[in-house]
Structure 1
């Protein structure tokens, strides 16, 4: 492939030899200089004196006495001047967008050497403003953002418009004076000042301008001056295809070829018709795709096709939409050894930006002046950030403190990140210093990672923060806290992080502007839609289009022509060209291919292949793993000496869930520190109920009058609820009297719990007199299981484990009446009650755990059987039951010393309001008043379930019922 830079290099060496020390080569951008220098060395085949490679911007900066100003300082100074002259008091946040437009106008005026007085005079004299009918709705909306009191009254709009624009000459003049006083300039101002320098471009004997297209007036004057001195040569890159007067891509090349002759014109080997020559056929393909992500994923297939990987730097991926970069990076196949990324990574998408945002939130709305403490949600957002561990060793301590003490507020910790910064809304400098310090600390502590993106993003953020702080301190920038937050976001969005690497090696990933002057054999262009190529541009300007055109300022027509040239020049020498575009429909607007693609379809004689990408509709495989009971698992099972009804229910629901929780011992994720999940809510209610019966009601017989008296004074319940919150949610030790402050959601939950307690009292009123024997009573019994026979000894090993649990409440109701019953009551605060079951087999049927809440029934019956004189478990292997029952532990005997029949009861608080509500378990169509009636069948099923848990030949298998996986905390582990 004969590239443009190869032609330039051959021409330079043929004219000037290898001593190029007095030659300066001027480029529009830096990247082409690197490629040309390497090409010069390859063509010379011997040591050479390298020429000076300079960008046009650096050339002007060399000969100016002014320094290019920092963009933040520039907009801050313009804002200050604007408010002084207009006598307005607009905040920087309000001014920022318009300030950028105003600065762009000033820059355009200077680069095109227009007279600011004449431009602004013409604006003031415009008679078009006598009638605003020519303004579109969108233009009126844009004006309304600037005019605080916008109305549809034409005379008011005209008056305010002229009043503002009449002051633009003063703003322009005062702004330039202020910048010049400081020795600073924006780019256009610096160019204009440099072009007046009589010593401009006297350093070198020859200035070679390579690969330019559009030229502004300052550049034209530079070219003219050097041309008169016979010091300039011009190397234009073009094709006869767009020299056609009707092709907008060649608008500027056609203009400059006669004024600044092409130094390559005499080259006999110069091909100028790449699009039509048969000597270099092109393989052009247009591909449509419904999403941007699908286009990025196609990159992998495209790179692996043909010799694109082997050709390395001759292969380029060009992003018309540069936000695709993060996705593209993850789609590069592993066999790509060298990769060079020329477009920058957005600072706004880096982890440090998210941390800065969270730190600002922590120090502002995250800190309560009244409580003198931080809100835990904001603190957790910072402490759980990936970079938090690099701030200091105290981070883990703070995280543990919060997780163990469920505090809504956490008091400041000296010398840690949880220390309030003494800033005020109108003086945010201390906050900026705090953010910069943390950024520097993270950079130092993470230096050993040797991650270039990490290092560069922290450096950019630190520079941004310290720059803003300095401007605020010296009063150049006036910004309160809300403005500062938005300003940081805006600046981060406009800041990119360059990737460091060897630019002339490997696959190239670049934006459209980086392709200038460089040719590639294979090109993949992504997101080449109208709006991306050419970029959606508008004449957002204070200067009307007619005035801009009259003074040869930049207009939207220029921008389209510039992008047209970039597009056609990029593909003119390529052999393989693949262009993707989005064809999805959004509302009533359908995405369409770029106008340049449509132009190729009409004008290019080379056939263009067209195809479409479609997302593969493959069913997601939900094959969860099966855990075999190998040596390690059996060892873990041997350590499982106790088992609860909840664990048994989990095994029936899903054996894999049982394995994750009780064998692998993977804990379920905790709820947010200041949140109340179902488990914590239930714990608070249980403890409040226990305290209510133990402290507010008689310990022996509770009469109806006792309950009515408590119902008539519901305020007496408040203290026990607060005590339950303190111990269950905030982990306060017993006896502490200071209660943590509740947030809004917690206060709502508090009222719900109070309503539930009152409903519980009304339910008990219907069965009084009653006696509450115990609350939260632990019960347990040993169980000996006969396991699968050993294949070598043919003997059946036994295993003794402890079956344990905690009874919510044991009571005796209807005392003194024939209906007197001993109950095991299980409180349920949820809204899904257990469904009536007809057989014991249904209790142990896995499908009923989710659909009929049979795990509730299993637990209540098991506790009832444990409290009878006969054990609920027959320890024989199925099907025989000949072994004697083990004795109950002393705790059980003390709870039911007379071995009376026990009725299982499930008290669903949300359903207890019905006057005929009876919590006693309904089984086989009638209340189950004596759990011993089910003892034999229940024992057989329970023993079989426990034997399956410990049977080494039976693996832990996932449930086949996907509905059970919806709320499982382990579903991500098994791919569901």
Structure 2
């Protein structure tokens, strides 16, 4: 394989061309470096190095203007916009930036393609007027302002050009337009030879420059043209070069350079479909691991999606001794970028207090946790423990000291919506972080911090030079734009080892082995996305590039990578999630349909090996240590919730009561259901404790209803948060709690109005008793808290409150043996019977009593009594009475359950939980 650049140099040297007098113009600086490297190996005697320029640098040289970046262009354009707009009509910078970037892009296109801007903008404003016509004679102010904007485009354009030219500056399109206007003067004042190498899609300004230099003998163009594509009038690869061959005067009656036939030579092409980006990166590692050192020297890994850089670097095999990363690492992908971005974002939206999720995002950032030595964990625990949803700056600072306090003050003191304060604090934060990091262990992080230091310096210079950015919101917009443009360069040997690059860096370069990733629709080619105010039809009318031309550019890059390669690996993502995510590129289909005779094309899919994992229920044998823990639990007392947890799933009992594992504490931003239950229970306890030992009255209940709002608020303050429940879901939940209590109290009043009497005996009484079991050599105790015990018309009731919905059939049993077999069916009767048993042990129940549930979501059903159903030939007979016999039968089942828990031969065996389809 002879690379295209080698072919060009060989031809020039064969003609005895004075290389030192030449200026080589190439599409990219990377290609220029490679040309000088190859030239050094070809010349036999010392010569002065020729000038090598990128096309952008050459255009600046002709125009005599310095090109500025997009951000500076945006600031300059805003100044121009303000100069030609009445003060009372000027939009703020945030609003302007939404359309300013798009309009600058269109100015670029108009200038690069040498469009008569006055006629063009006039045409565009006419289109907008037709699109938004109205039958009303008098247009509204909104319509007038809208049409006025389009009519002012020529004014904005002229003002921006004048303003930039006075400073010797220009945006890219303006550079090209001025270069095309000054090409004649350049030709007169310059000599030597300008050699253009490897170009494809040229804008109108570039075409004019090329043609004038060709016509005057100062220029020579070397096109990399493949005969297969050039002669196929339907193929997009040579779309532009076929146009130049027909339209340029220079080529009338002349051949369009040398046509190569290297694409048709023997090639091994593999098309591999792999799920997800990480899968692609891992597959690259597999391919490279099988290559020897010589093959690696002529291999390029080209990333269609440049976000794959880090995964690919982390997947390189051990046999890679050298790698050169051409593309640079995008600064926006650095971990510390998220820290600065989030700080700016939360400060821009800051009012009086900090939302806990914004706060924890900062303090839980790996870099913050590292430099505070875990000190930020104390604030996280405080937020969770005190359930703080919104925090003041004072609350954040009160438990911090030293380095951590300095860091918190920089981050969480208000920046007063002042961009200069923001940039100063961010710079100070970088210095603070830098002092803590180790120069040897944290080299990469320090490099990222240095790059952000440079970025904030640039931001500060912009703030000093331009006064447009007056809020943190507009600063955040500019920061996002700047960080998206910044890259961190890698150090390496550019001409040895494995080459890792993006698609644009591969222009003009040739490699024997090519591995191209993300060959998917939407990536190669990139699709129809367009950031422009110019309609498609208008672009076509003025020969401006559309998505069709963009597809042709991508086609050229894709096929050029394959043109001289011998071994090609084309990898695409098969993952179906997301738009077009799993659709392979049309270029792959085209390769299949137009397969050359000597091309060996193979297609296959690669999937990670996923072993079949059978779901096996866990079985935990009881060790002596576990038995000791069970004895402790038994001595402290088994509660109804502990026993029903065992019934539901013994593994949960093992985790909670043997290992002591509890659910991790999280901030309860929206009131949880258990908190709601606690608030309702404690509110009723507060009301009913005053009536212990006496009958409740209608007057007392009505008074309780009037006090419900304040008592509910007090209970939320106690159990939830000190923040007022004035909005959002929490306000609704507060109203639900209030409604539960009020509706219950009203139902009690209705009960009394019917002539019933209710005498309160106990409220939230904590009960304990021992349970002698002869076969166990250790004590067993029971404990529980009964919500309410009363006498209803002289008959005792044991009541358990439930804020959820409970139906009557959930408090009934048929066979006593079932009561500890099915949690879903029998957990409610188990609980109320255990409360009854505890109460019986405290004060023996000699006469019939009742036990049951009051469900706040089923109040119309009243008191849901426990029933023992007896099946016989005449139907179902229900017995609601709690008698010593009933409690004796329950005690027998209770002992059986506890014996199972305490039996060292019975392991904790996981139960298969029911799956619910929502």
Deviation at 1:961, TM superposition (A): 2.6
Alignment partner of 1:861 is 2:854? no
* Per-residue deviation, 1:709: 3.8
In structure 2, what is the equivalent of residue 524 of structure 1? 516
**816, 841, 845: which one aligns with 1:840:** 816
2:709 to 714, 718, 722: 718
User: What SS class does the counterpart of residue 961 from structure 1 fall into?
Assistant: coil
From 370, 376, 391, the counterpart of 1:395: 376
Deviations 1:624-661 (A, max 9, x none): 65445568766766765644332332222223323333
Residues 349-404 of structure 1, C-alpha deviations (whole Å, 9 max, x = no match): 66556555654564455534xxxx44445444544555553675763333233222
Identify the residue that residue 807 of structure 1 maps to in structure 2: 786
**Distance change (3 Å), C-alpha of 1:653 and 1:439:** farther
Aligned match of 1:304 in 275, 282, 286? 286
Q: Report if aligned partners of 1:376, 1:409 keep a CA contact under 8 Å in 2.
A: yes
Q: TM-score, normalised by structure 1?
A: 0.73
Query: Structure 1 residue aligned with 2:260, among 272, 281, 306?
Result: 272
Aligned to 1:250: 238
Conserved in 1, the CA contact under 8 Å of 2:617 and 2:912? no
* Change beyond 3 A, Cα 1:450–1:8: farther
Contact 1:868 1:901 in 2 (8 A): no
Superposed CA offset, 1:729-765 (max 9, x none)? 13x7xxxxxx856544333222222222234334555
Decide whether the 8 Å contact of 1:527 with 1:582 is kept in 2. Answer: no
Higher alpha-carbon deviation: 72-81 or 753-762: 753-762
SS at match of 1:910: coil
1:693 aligned onto 2:693: no
Query: How does 1:316-715 map onto structure 2 within 5 Å?
Result: 316-322=300-306, 352=336, 354-355=338-339, 358-360=342-344, 362-363=346-347, 367-368=351-352, 373-376=353-356, 378-386=358-366, 388-389=368-369, 392=372, 395-413=376-394, 414=397, 416=408, 419-421=412-414, 423-424=416-417, 429-431=420-422, 433-434=424-425, 438=429, 441=432, 467-468=458-459, 470-472=461-463, 474-478=465-469, 480=471, 483-485=474-476, 488=479, 510-520=501-511, 521-529=513-521, 532-533=524-525, 535-536=527-528, 540=532, 558-574=549-565, 575-578=567-570, 580=572, 593-594=585-586, 597-598=589-590, 601-602=593-594, 604-606=596-598, 609=601, 621-623=614-616, 625-629=618-622, 640=633, 642=636, 643-694=638-689, 697-703=690-696, 706-711=697-702, 714-715=705-706
Cα distance, 1:374–1:727 mapped onto 2, change above 3 Å:
same
Deviation of residue 180 (structure 1)? 3.9
Q: Is the 8 A contact 1:825 1:904 kept in 2?
A: yes
Against the structure 1 CA distance between its residues 626 and 801, is the aligned structure 2 distance closer, same or farther, given a 3 Å change threshold? same
What is the alpha-carbon distance in structure 2 between the residues aligned to residue 594 and residue 898 of structure 1? 83
Normalised to the residue count of structure 2, the TM-score between the two structures is: 0.77
Structure 1 residue 777 displacement after superposition: 3.1
Q: Which residues in structure 2 correspond to 1:187-198 (within 5 Å)? A: 187-190=172-175
- The 1:553–1:402 alpha-carbon spacing in structure 2 relative to 1, beyond 3 Å, is closer
Query: Secondary structure at the residue paired with 1:249?
Result: coil
Higher helix share: 2
Distance 1:62 1:298, change over 3 A: same
Q: What is aligned with 2:859? A: 912
CA deviation profile, 1:546-587 (whole Å, cap 9, x unmatched): 79977x865666544433321221111222343648797999
Query: What residue in structure 2 maps to residue 958 of structure 1?
Result: 910
Task: Find the aligned partners of 1:519 and 1:589 in 2 and give their Cα distance.
Answer: 29
**1:866-902 alpha-carbon deviations (Å, 9 max, x no partner):** 3333xxxxxxxxxxxxxxxxxxxxxxx4xx3888877
Deviation at 1:30, TM superposition (A): 3.7
Give the secondary-structure state (helix, strand or coil) at the position aligned to 1:275. Answer: helix
2:852 match: secondary structure = strand
Note closer, same or farther for the CA distance 1:553–1:529 as it changes in structure 2 (3 Å cut): closer
Classify 1:259/1:336 alpha carbon distance in 2 versus 1 (closer, same or farther; 3 Å). Answer: farther
**Equivalent residues of 1:671, 1:677 under 8 A apart:** no
For 1:799 and 1:842, the matched residues in 2 are separated by 27
Counterpart Cα distance in 2 of 1:859 and 1:466: 68
Matches within 5 A, 1:878-893: 893=842
Residues 439 and 446 in structure 2, CA contact (< 8 A), matched pair in contact too:
no
- Counterpart contact for 1:248–1:561, Cα < 8 Å: yes
- In 2, the alpha carbon distance for the partners of 1:44 and 1:659 equals 80
2-structure distance, mates of 1:950, 1:201: 103
Compute the displacement of 1:724 (Å). Answer: 1.3
SS in 1 for 2:263: coil
Equivalent in the alignment of 1:791: none
Unaligned runs of 5+ in 1: 133-139, 733-738, 788-796, 870-892, 968-976
- 1:775 and 2:770 aligned: no
Alpha-carbon distance between aligned partners in 2 of 1:46 and 1:779, rounded to the nearest angstrom? 104
Report the RMSD for the aligned CA atoms in angstroms. 5.4
User: For 1:905, what is the secondary structure of its paired residue?
Assistant: strand
Give the Cα separation in 1 of the matches to 2:688 and 2:136: 74
State the Cα deviation string for residues 929-973 of structure 1 (Å, max 9, x = none).
336435555445444544544555554433223438x99xxxxxx
Task: Please tell me whether the aligned partners of residues 300 and 499 of structure 2 are also in contact (alpha carbons under 8 angstroms).
Answer: yes
CA drift of 1:829 comes to 0.9
Residue 227 (structure 2) aligns with: 240
Cα distance 1:125–1:380, how it changes in 2: closer, same or farther (>3 A)? closer
User: Matched residues in 2 for 1:525 and 1:380: separation?
Assistant: 37
- Identify the range of structure 1 (748-757 vs 82-91) with the bigger mean alpha-carbon deviation: 82-91
Among 793, 804, 811, the residue aligned to 1:830: 804
> Which residue in the other structure is 1:880 paired with?
none
SS class of match (2:863): coil
Distance 1:342 1:622, change over 3 A: farther
Find the aligned partners of 2:151 and 2:728 in 1 and give their Cα distance: 54
Q: Residues 339 and 421 from structure 1, CA distance in 2 versus in 1: closer, same or farther, beyond 3 angstroms?
A: same
Match of 1:930 in 2: 882
